[in-house]
Each structure stands twice: as C-alpha cells, then as structure tokens.
Amino acid sequence: MNPPATRNVERVVIATRRSRLAMWQAEHVKQRLHALYPRLEVGLLPLSTRGDELLEVRLDSAGGKGLFVKELEAAMVDGRADLAVHSMKDVPVELPEGFVLAAITAREDPRDAFVSNRFATLDELPDGAVVGTASLRRAAQIAERRPGLTIRTLRGNLDTRLAKLDRGEYDAVLLAAAGLRRLGLAARIRMLLEPAQSLPAAGQGALGIECRSADRALCELLAPLGDPASEVCVRAERAVNRALGGNCAVPLGAYAELQGTRLRLRALLASPDGRRIARADRTGDAAEPERLGDQTAQALREQGASEILAQLAAPR
C-alpha cells in the first residue's frame, strides 16, 4: 500500500523526553518518517517532564504516568511540537480531549528482564537480597514468587538504574527488556521473565505516536507507522486497564497475543505485597479487542479484583 499524500505537511517536530531511551525512540520514528517521506523535514524537541524530575518518590504518589506525557502534550498545544513519541506502557488509558494515538508501532520484546551482576536467575537470589523496581506490578509478582526478597523502589532513567545496580545498591533490578534491547544493552539481561512469571504491563514494548486529533493531515501521515497486530493487542490490554480504572497505583498486568483471527488475553491485578492476586485468561475475536478487554476485566472482578481495588483505594 502506498503511503498517503502529505497534504502540504512539509515539516514536523517530535516532542520527546530527554532520556537516552526516549531520544532513541524519537529518533527511530524520525528515521521511519524519512524512509516513508524523504522530503519531509523532521525535528526533535527534547523536554524534561515531571516524571523525569521526581526521582525520589513513587509515581503512584506523585500523580501517575501522565507525568511523563503532560509536558509533551503542552508542547503540541502551544505549537512547539506536532507529535510526541511515548512508550505505550507510560500512556494513560484516557487521553486528554483533542489528542489521539495516530499509530502504535510494532512491538519489541514485551517481557520483563532480570538484571544482576552476581546472580544468573531470580531463583538464585538468597532471601534478603535487594531487588530494585519502579513498578508496583513487577514488585507484586516477584513478592508472590519470592516473599523473602527485599524489594525497594528504583526510579530514574535506564542508565541511572543500571548505575545504581553497578554501585552495589541493589543485588538485582527488574527492567523492560525492550528498553535494554533498543539501547544495545541486551547483554545485561541475565534472565527474561516469561509472562507466566511476570505478566507485562499493558502496551509494554510498543511505541505510541500521539498528535492532535484535529490535525487530520498529520494523522494520515503517521498512520503507516502503525502495526495492526500490535495495535489490536495493545487495545485489548488497555481496555482491561480502563475497565478497572487502572493507573500506576494499581499493580495490574495485561498481555495479549494474536492467534490468527483470535486474541488471547491474560491479565492480573494484585495487592502491592503480592499476597492477593486475581488472574484471568480469556480468548476472543481479534476484531473486538476492547470487548475482550472488558470481559477479561469482569473475569478479574469475579476472582476478587474488586476487593483488591477497594483495599488500594482505602485511606492509609
């Protein structure tokens, strides 16, 4: 299929976070745009977001994943940028009015990665070993499997987290395999956690390209960057999150796999300490990913997710 006409779109600016991984992602989209539209001028606008600045607190107590995207959206509103590139796992399930995901790219490895300088596998860690992660989802699942481990919050960009590991502040850290692979750091991975061991976050491994919904010409320009199979999976995963009011204060995992015309969706919702976990595994029509997501969310409620959510919402 030929790419759509650019309709007088001659130059675009991509808003991006300043981290090395975010810059890689923006540059990747820039290169893909150049391949499709050789005459298109593409610039980058690196920005610092509140999510990047608040490194000493958990995201769930500081305002959630939207902290990584609000400044980028503001740049699009005031005309400094035309689009933004996000890790889909960082994109809130509800976009602000006037914004749309114009494309969801082909997914990288969606799994979580175990990284350690001393231990080859999660099971080799002795009780009391310190494991770092910024994710309540990862922490809950690891706590369920290995309740004797000490799990500590680990914030910062990818290089910062690895540096803290290398300084001996942690015995191991849990990271997204996709980010390590994209930055040429796959050799740091000691063990890949399969979905049965650590269910990924909704959208993990995929990139989302956001722009203003009113900019129809740009939406049309960006559409060929999307991957239909990845989009179907991510839509189903995000539907689970949406149905349960998911945010980064909720340890929730969702992972979909396309199997011909069918879609398998696994999801879980946990208490932060991993002592209570509701799980669901459903298959449905790939043409209706949101419906499957809603059905899977309902299955989680039947397994006790509502009680877990009530506990999470209770004053502490």
Which residues are catalytic, by number?
Answer: 90
Dihedral angle of Cα 166, 172, 175, 181, to the nearest 10 degrees: 60
DSSP notation for 90-142? GS-SSPPTTEEEEEEPPP---SEEEE-SS-SSGGGSPTT-EEEES-HHHHHHH
CB 59 within 8 A of CB 134: yes
CB 257 within 8 A of CB 233: yes
3-class DSSP state of 189: coil
- The encoded tokens of residue 310 equal 């009530």
CB 16 within 8 A of CB 22: yes
3-class DSSP state of 13: strand
At residue 232, what is the residue type?
V
